[in-house]
Amino acid sequence: MALKASELKAGDTYTECLVEDLKRTQIVQYAGASGDYNPVHTDELFTKEVAGYPSVFAHGMLTMGMTGRMLTNYVGDGRLKSFGVRFTSQVWPGDTLHSTATVEEVNDDVVNLKVETANQDGTVVVSGYATARVNV
């Protein structure tokens, strides 16, 4: 079950659906869990009328967090050593996100991954990299 470096090669991919039809409630749950209560994520009236966005939107860190969940599901618990992304597009209520990790390189027990999360239109919302230490 645990991922093994010897069974991985460049180009291998792993994909997960991170969320289907993202609910405002999940964004509120993330606000509570993270302590990030910026109202552009939770207050529809403020966000439309004062901040000037079409609706509330997800914290970038929620998208990154769900992408991290995909990574730890793939590489195993406690094995993720580094993770970085660029935030390239916003995530809105109703969005469905899929995330893919692609093996770029395997050096002994260290795996370098390319990471990309996209919405239902194929727009990339975060892209980046991760490194993991796995079993040989």
| Residue matched to tokens 């109202």 | 39
Q: By C-beta, is 30 or 125 nearer to a copy of itself? A: 30
15/13 Cα distance (integer angstroms): 7
Q: By C-beta, is 11 or 78 nearer to a copy of itself? A: 78
Q: By C-beta, is 5 or 59 nearer to a copy of itself? A: 59
Q: By C-beta, is 106 or 131 nearer to a copy of itself? A: 131
CB of 86 to a copy of itself, least distance (A): 4
- Strands 110-118 and 124-133 turn out to be antiparallel
**What amino acid is encoded at 117 in this protein?**
T
Q: Collapsing DSSP states into helix, strand and coil, what is residue 113?
A: strand
Task: Candidates 5, 22, 30, 118: give the one binding a copy of itself (CB under 8 A).
Answer: 30
Closest CA to 83 of 109, 125, 110, 115: 115
104's tokens: 């770029």
Residues 66-85 that bind a copy of itself (CB under 8 A): 66, 68-69, 72, 77-78, 80-85
58/28 Cα distance (integer angstroms): 9
Contacting positions for a copy of itself (CB under 8 A): 18-19, 26, 29-30, 32-36, 38, 40, 59-62, 64-66, 68-69, 72, 77-78, 80-87, 128-129
